[in-house]
Structures are given as C-alpha cells and as structure tokens.
C-alpha cells in the first residue's frame, strides 16, 4: 500500500510527499448502540483503514484528494476562512475547528493531502472517525500541539458532534485512536475506563460482511434512537436517580413500564440487556468459550432487530442466513445499522470452506436484496499514527 499511496500523491500533486500515515477502521465485537447510553463495548481497530500522504505548504491553502470520494478532484479550502460542506472535507475542517476552539491551536500553513482507503465508506466500520483521527495526528505532529492519544480521540469525537452534526458516542474514535495489535478493548463509555485483553480465536475466524447498502448517519434514524433513549432515561432517573441507561436493571425498567410507550420500553430494554451481553461476552472471550460468545452475538442481533429496530432486510438476511450454518458460531450486525456491516464468528480457519459458505450465502442475499455483499477477513490493528 505504501507504493500505491506515494504513487497516488505524485499523480495528484506532482511531487513526493513528506509523511505517510495510517488510521484503522474499527469493528465492535458486541455492545451496539450503548456507547451513548453509558454502557461497555468490545471494539478493536482493524487492518482495513485510511492511508494519508501529506506535504505542508507555505501558504494557508489546504488541498485534499480522496481516492474513495473522487480521485480526480482536488477539494480546496483556506485556513483564513472556510465554510461547512457536504463532502469529506467536513471531517478535516471539523478537526481544525475543534482544535482551535478547545486547544487554542493557530493554523497558519496548509497542506497537500492525498488519501486512499481499504475501508469501505458508509459501511459501519467508522470511516469518518478514522479520517478524524488521521487529521488529528497529522496536525498534532506538525504543529507540536502536545496532544495525547486520548486527546486526539476526544477532539475527533467533538469534530463529529459539533461540526459534522452526528451525535455520536465515544466508542468509534476511542477504538481507532487507542487500539493495539492483537487486542480487544473493553471500554466503559460512561467513565472512559478501559482495559485490553488478547484477541484469541483459537481455530475460529472473524469475517466482516459489507451489505454494500450505504447509509448516512446524519440522515438515518440514529439521532432518533438517541432521543428515545434519553426520553426513557428521564423517566427512570426521576424514580431512581442513576445517570445512564445502562446502569439500570430490568426490574427497575419494568417498574416504570406503565409510564413508557412501547417503543421507549423496547429501546431501553435493548440497552440494559446489551450491557449484560457485553459482560458475558468479555468472560467468554477471556475463557475461550467461543460457542457461548457466538450465542451472545446472535442474541445481540435479535435485540437490535426487534427492540432497537436498526437492522433491516440486508443485515437481517446476512445474519440470519449465516446463523443457519453449522460452522457459524454467531453472526450479527455491527455499527449503527441501517445498512453497513455485519460480522460472523466462524468455527473454521479453512479459507476454502469459509469462502464457499460466504459465496453460497451471497447468492441467497442477492435473491432477496438484488445486490451482492462483500466480505473481508478481520485482523486487528494498531492505533492511528505514522507509517514506518
């Protein structure tokens, strides 16, 4: 990829780049739609990601090329004054905006930036967060801002929320900015306490399946789900006083059921039960009980389908068809839903066997949806940083 990255930069800007960076995507093993409800999640950085080649300029112009967005076009903005846009540069501008707002950064020289990606856009693997972390690290290095990895995570989250207008939790940026190779992160999204443990599959394989049905978070029902959770929390908090939805028990939720609509009850039920699944999945992974982990993945998908209603035909077809296979331990959607990606934990390391399963399932998927999915073997990755 290094040679392709340099070649792309030279084609775009007619010179060699000064620095190369990589920012991984992320996959969440389990713990969906509870990061913003104060829950625990089990994400990791993955080897699919965004690559950036950059040279700093002497003036205030920023020129950006994204092969994934439109590799022929150069998108420009000036540090002396820029406006919001609907293209990928909104994430770049967002990082600059929040670093100025919260860290007092002063940007006086721009850059030529070329990016290419192995991470499918709008797929639920956090391409926007990967881009935000990429820019945070690039700017931190050049301007010697002294930001820690966690600072870069928090600034990237602020960029998504305040500039891209997606009311996201902390998980995506944290998983990308804090990941370690061959590790899974147990992250408490309420306290930002975290720990690592080994990503050991012991004869199994984790596969990512891209529905190839893109969705835009800011145009989806993501913010609606957040609002529903906040409404349910308000009722629970009035009686019990606890600050986040995932702190509550099912008994406490049931005690206020008559004060909630059916939708609000089911949204809260998903959050509370998903928190329990994360705790059980953590123990199962640590103890090597992959069959139990697979059952928890299946339970997560069922809850996301029936209680949280964020799956849909494409994700349901993938998860439910794969769950029928005797070599699949578990399958579920991952990410925000409404399209995007699913994951499958397969009790095999034989790629011929796995490929046949995935190809056969793809034919069923095509019959039901009219499109084909793409799939990727999942490997963990280190956090965002310079390429050595």
Q: Which residues are catalytic?
A: 172
User: CA-to-CA distance for 6 and 96, rounded, in angstroms?
Assistant: 25
Q: How far from each other are the two terminal CA atoms of the chain, in whole angstroms?
A: 12
Instruction: Catalogue the E-assigned strands of the chain.
Output: 19-28, 40-41, 43-56, 61-66, 75-78, 111-117, 183-188, 194-198, 205-210, 328-334, 341-346, 374-377, 385-386
What does DSSP assign to residue 153? H
Contact 60, 78 (CB under 8 A): yes
Q: What is 289-334 written as a DSSP string?
A: -HHHHHHHHHHHHHHHHHTS----HHHHHHHHHHHTSTTEEEEEEE
Long-range contact pairs involving 168-173 (C-beta distance under 8 Å, separation at least 24): 168/36, 168/129, 168/217, 169/35, 169/36, 170/35, 171/26, 171/28, 171/31, 171/35, 171/41, 171/43, 172/26, 172/35, 172/43, 172/126, 172/128, 172/129, 173/129, 173/132, 173/133
CA distance 233 to 241: 10
């Amino acid at each position: 990829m290094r040679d392709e990255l340099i070649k792309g930069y030279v084609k775009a800007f007619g010179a060699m780049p000064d620095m190369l960076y990589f920012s991984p995507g992320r996959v969440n093993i389990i713990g969906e739609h509870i990061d913003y409800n104060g829950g625990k999640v089990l994400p990791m950085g993955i080897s699919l990601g965004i690559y950036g080649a950059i040279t700093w300029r002497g003036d205030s112009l920023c020129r950006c090329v994204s092969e994934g967005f439109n590799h022929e076009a150069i998108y420009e903005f000036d540090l002396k004054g820029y406006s919001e846009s609907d293209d990928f540069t909104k994430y770049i501008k967002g990082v600059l905006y929040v670093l100025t707002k919260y860290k007092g950064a002063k940007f006086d020289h721009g850059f030529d930036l070329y990016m290419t990606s192995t991470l499918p856009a709008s797929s639920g693997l956090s391409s926007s967060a990967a881009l935000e972390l990429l820019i945070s690290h690039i700017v931190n290095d050049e301007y010697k801002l002294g930001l820690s990895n966690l600072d870069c995570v928090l600034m990237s989250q602020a960029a998504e929320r305040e500039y891209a207008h997606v009311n996201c939790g902390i998980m995506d940026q944290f998983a990308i900015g804090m990941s370690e190779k061959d590790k899974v992160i147990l992250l408490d999204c309420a306290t930002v306490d975290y720990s690592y443990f080994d990503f050991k599959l012991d004869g199994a394989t984790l596969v990512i399946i891209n529905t190839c049905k893109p969705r835009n978070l800011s145009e989806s029902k993501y913010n609606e789900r957040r609002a529903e959770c906040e409404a349910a929390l308000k009722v629970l908090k009035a009686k019990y006083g606890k600050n986040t939805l995932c702190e509550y028990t099912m008994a406490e939720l049931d005690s206020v059921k008559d004060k909630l609509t059916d939708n609000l009850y089911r949204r809260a039920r998903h959050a509370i039960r998903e928190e329990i699944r994360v705790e059980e999945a953590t123990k199962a992974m640590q103890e090597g009980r992959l069959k139990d982990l697979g059952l928890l993945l299946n339970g997560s998908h069922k809850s996301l389908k029936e209680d949280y209603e964020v799956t849909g035909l494409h994700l349901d077809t993938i998860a439910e068809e794969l769950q029928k296979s005797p070599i699949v331990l578990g399958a579920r959607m991952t990410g925000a839903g409404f399209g995007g990606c699913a994951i499958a934990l397969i009790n095999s390391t034989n790629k011929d066997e796995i490929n046949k399963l995935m190809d056969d399932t793809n034919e069923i998927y095509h019959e039901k949806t009219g499109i084909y999915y793409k799939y990727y073997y999942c490997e963990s990755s280190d956090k965002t940083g310079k390429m050595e």
